[in-house]
C-alpha cells in the first residue's frame, strides 16, 4: 500500500509528538502495518492451502485435483485446522507474557519472526513428520507476534482517549488484510496448482521480507516497545525454568508410554489441546479478575471485558470456518469458473480480505463522522451487530449446502455473498475488540491482555475442533443452522444487557 506521508520536522520520538504521519497517524504505524502485512501473507498463504492439502488424495478430495497431500478425511482436516488456529491464538498469551516480562514487545517480534520462517521452511519439506513440526513452529511464532504487535500499535497513541485510536487499529487491520488478500492468489495458486511445498516455501519468503522491513523501521516506534514493563527477577526466572522442564519431562514420559503401548492416535494430541483451549481462557480471566493488586476501577473493567470475550468466542467459532468447512465446500461443491475464468478454490480465501480493504476505510470514516456529532454506536452495539451478521452468514450458507446435496456445483457467488456478510460483522468485532482491549487492560497486564483477547479465538476454534473430533458433521445444514442460531442469540443477549456492560466499562466507550 502506498503511504500517505505528510512532511514534517523529524521522525516521531513519542506517541504524542509531531513529525511525519501515516494517513494522519503516527509514522510508526507504517512499520507495524508492513510487518503485519507480510506476516499475514505468510500465515494466510499457508492457511489457504492447509485443508485442501490435508484432504488431497483422500476420500473427500476433489475429483481430478492435485495429489501429494496427506489423504485425510474432511472431518480430520477440519479438526487439525481448528486445533492449529486455536494454538496460534492460545500461544498469543505467553507471547504477551514474554513481551511484558522477558524481552519486551519489539525483541519478541524479531525472535518470533525467525520461528515463523523456520516453520514454513519445514512445511516445504515433503513428509508428515516435517509437516506437523512446521505447523507447530508457525503456530508458536505467530502466537508470539500477535499480542506484541497489537500492543505496539496501542503505544503509538496518547492514551486510551486519543480519538485516532480506533481509526489507527482499523488502518492496521487493512495491513493484515492486504497480506491476507495477496497470499491465496500467490501462495495458493502455486501450491494448489503446481506444488504444495513450493507454496509453503513462498510463505517463508514473505515472513523474511516482513522482518527486514521491521528492523529498518523500528526507529519510528514508541520507546516503550523496547522496554520490559515488569521484568522477571532472578528467582522468578529460575522458577519458570524449573516448571518448564518439569512439565516437558512429564509430557514426554506420558506420550512415550502411549506410543510404546501401541495406543497412539492423532486424537491423543488433538483432544488435550482443544480441552486446554477451553480451560485456559477461563482460568486466565479468573486469575486476572482475582488479582488483589488491581484497583477497583480496573476490576470493574475486567468484569465488563468478560462480556466482549464471550461474544468474540461465539463470533470466531463461525468465522474461522471460512478456512475449513467453507474451504472444503469451495473445493468440492462449488464451481471453479466464473465469467469464463478458471481459478483454484484457494482464491476464495482472498474474498474476505478484499472486502475488508474496501470497507474498512468506510467504517473508520463512519465511526469518526458519527463521533463528531456524538452519535457513534458504543462498543456493545458494534459487537451485537457483528454477532447478528455472523449468524446471518451461516443462515445463508444453509441454502447452497442444500442445493449441492444432489451433487450440483453451486455458483461461486454464494460464497462471495457469505464472505461479504461476514466482513461487515468482522469490522464491528475484530478491530473494535483490539482497541477496546488496549483501553480496558489493567496496566499490569498490558501485553498479556492482548493475549487474552486472542484466547477468545482459541475458545471458539476449540469448540469447532471438539465437534469435529466427536464426529459431528460440520458440513451438514442442520449443524450450520444451529451455529447460526447460537450467534444470533448471543447478539440479542449483548444488546439486551448493553447498559449493564457500558456501566462496567467505566470511562471507556
Grid coordinates in use for 319? 468465522
Q: How many CA atoms lie within 13 A of 451 on its CB side?
A: 29
Q: Which residues contact 461 (CB under 8 A, 6 or more apart)?
A: 82, 83, 85, 86, 89, 277, 316, 317, 320
- 21-22/25-26 β-pairing: antiparallel
Q: Which residues pair with 22 in a beta bridge?
A: 5, 25
Q: Please give the Cα distance from 405 to 473 (Å, whole number).
A: 14
Q: How many CA atoms lie within 13 A of 363 on its CB side?
A: 26
Domains of the chain, earliest start first: 23-504 (1.20.1250.20)
- Selection from 13, 20, 15, 368 nearest residue 158 by Cα: 15
For 441, phi then psi, to 5°, come to: -70, 130
The enclosing H or E element of 48 equals: helix 28-55
Grid coordinates in use for 496? 439486551
- Selection from 307, 237, 299 nearest residue 443 by Cα: 299
Q: Please give the Cα distance from 483 to 324 (Å, whole number).
A: 15
- Selection from 85, 218, 231, 232 nearest residue 152 by Cα: 218
Contact 301, 440 (CB under 8 A): yes
- Selection from 85, 87, 93 nearest residue 47 by Cα: 85
- Selection from 119, 184, 181 nearest residue 145 by Cα: 119
Ramachandran region, residue 339 (left: φ > 0; alpha: ψ -120 to 50; beta: rest): left
Q: Please give the Cα distance from 361 to 382 (Å, whole number).
A: 16
Q: How many CA atoms lie within 13 A of 365 on its CB side?
A: 6
Contact 183, 45 (CB under 8 A): yes
The enclosing H or E element of 338 equals: strand 337-338
Grid coordinates in use for 197? 511445498
Contact 241, 111 (CB under 8 A): no
The enclosing H or E element of 6 equals: strand 5-6
Residue 283 burial (C-beta neighbours within 10 Å; 0-12, 13-18, 19+): exposed
3-state helix, strand, coil split of the chain in percent (to 5) is 75, 0, 20
Contact 170, 360 (CB under 8 A): yes
Per-residue pLDDT of the chain (509 residues; tens, 9 = 90+): 333 333 333 334 444 444 566 667 787 888 888 888 888 898 888 889 999 999 888 887 777 667 788 888 888 899 999 999 998 888 877 887 888 888 888 899 999 999 999 999 999 988 888 999 999 999 999 888 877 887 888 788 876 667 677 677 777 777 787 888 999 999 999 999 888 999 999 999 989 988 998 888 888 887 788 888 888 888 888 888 899 899 989 999 998 998 888 888 888 888 898 999 899 988 988 888 888 888 888 888 888 888 889 999 999 999 999 999 999 999 989 998 887 788 899 999 999 889 888 887 788 788 888 888 878 788 889 999 999 999 999 999 999 999 988 888 999 999 999 999 999 999 899 878 877 887 888 877 776 677 788 889 999 999 999 999 988 888 889 999 999 999 999 999 888 888 887 777 666 65
Angle formed at CA 441 by CA 305 and CA 217, multiple of 5 degrees:
130
Amino acid at each position: 500500500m502506498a503511504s500517505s506521508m505528510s512532511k514534517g520536522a523529524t521522525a516521531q520520538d513519542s506517541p504524542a509528538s509531531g513529525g511525519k504521519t501515516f494517513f494522519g497517524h503516527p509514522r510508526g504505524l507504517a512499520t507495524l502495518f508492513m510487518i503485519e502485512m507480510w506476516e499475514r501473507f505468510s500465515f494466510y498463504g499457508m492457511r489457504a492451502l492447509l485443508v485442501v492439502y490435508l484432504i488431497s488424495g483422500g476420500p473427500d478430495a476433489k475429483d481430478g485435483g492435485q495429489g501429494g497431500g496427506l489423504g485425510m478425511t474432511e472431518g480430520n482436516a477440519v479438526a487439525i485446522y481448528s486445533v492449529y488456529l486455536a494454538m496460534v491464538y492460545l500461544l498469543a498469551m505467553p507471547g504477551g507474557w514474554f513481551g511484558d516480562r522477558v524481552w519486551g514487545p519489539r525483541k519478541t517480534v524479531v525472535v518470533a519472526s525467525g520461528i515463523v520462517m523456520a516453520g514454513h521452511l519445514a512445511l516445504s519439506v515433503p513428509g508428515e513428520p516435517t509437516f506437523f513440526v512446521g505447523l507447530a513452529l508457525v503456530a508458536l511464532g505467530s502466537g508470539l507476534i500477535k499480542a506484541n504487535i497489537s500492543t505496539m500499535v496501542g503505544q503509538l497513541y496518547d492514551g486510551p482517549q486519543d480519538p485516532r485510536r480506533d481509526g489507527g487499529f482499523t488502518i492496521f487491520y487493512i495491513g493484515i488484510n492486504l497480506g491476507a488478500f495477496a497470499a491465496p492468489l500467490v501462495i495458493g495458486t502455486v501450491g494448489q496448482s503446481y506444488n504444495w511445498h513450493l507454496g509453503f516455501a513462498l510463505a517463508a519468503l514473505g515472513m523474511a521480507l516482513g522482518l527486514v522491513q521491521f528492523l529498518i523501521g523500528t526507529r519510528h516506534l514508541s520507546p516503550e516497545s523496547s522496554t520490559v514493563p515488569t521484568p522477571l527477577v532472578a528467582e522468578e526466572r529460575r522458577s519458570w525454568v524449573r516448571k518448564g522442564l518439569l512439565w516437558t519431562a512429564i509430557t514426554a514420559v506420558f506420550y512415550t508410554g502411549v506410543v510404546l503401548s501401541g495406543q497412539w492416535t492423532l486424537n491423543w494430541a488433538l483432544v488435550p489441546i482443544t480441552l486446554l483451549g477451553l480451560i485456559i481462557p477461563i482460568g486466565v480471566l479468573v486469575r486476572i479478575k482475582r488479582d488483589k493488586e488491581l484497583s477497583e476501577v480496573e476490576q470493574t473493567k475486567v468484569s465488563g471485558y468478560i462480556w466482549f470475550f464471550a461474544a468474540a468466542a461465539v463470533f470466531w467459532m463461525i468465522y474461522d470456518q471460512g478456512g475449513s468447512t467453507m474451504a472444503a465446500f469451495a473445493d468440492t461443491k462449488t464451481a471453479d469458473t466464473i465469467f469464463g475464468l478458471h481459478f483454484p478454490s484457494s482464491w476464495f480465501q482472498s474474498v474476505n480480505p478484499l472486502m475488508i480493504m474496501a470497507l474498512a476505510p468506510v467504517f473508520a470514516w463512519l465511526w469518526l463522522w458519527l463521533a463528531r456529532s456524538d452519535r457513534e454506536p458504543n462498543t456493545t452495539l458494534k459487537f451485537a451487530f457483528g454477532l447478528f451478521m455472523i449468524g446471518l452468514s451461516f443462515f445463508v450458507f444453509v441454502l447452497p449446502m442444500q442445493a449441492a446435496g444432489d451433487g450440483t456445483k453451486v455458483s461461486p457467488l454464494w460464497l462471495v455473498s457469505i464472505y461479504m456478510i461476514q466482513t461487515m460483522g468482522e469490522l464491528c468485532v475484530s478491530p473494535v475488540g483490539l482497541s477496546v482491549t488496549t483501553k480496558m487492560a489493567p496496566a499490569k497486564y498490558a501485553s498479556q491482555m492482548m493475549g487474552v483477547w486472542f484466547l477468545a479465538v482459541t475458545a471458539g476454534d476449540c469448540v469447532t475442533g471438539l465437534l469435529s473430533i466427536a464426529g459431528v458433521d460440520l458440513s451438514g445444514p442442520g449443524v450450520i443452522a444451529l451455529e447460526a442460531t447460537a450467534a444470533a442469540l448471543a447478539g440479542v443477549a449483548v444488546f439486551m444487557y448493553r447498559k449493564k456492560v457500558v456501566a462496567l466499562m467505566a470511562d471507556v466507550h
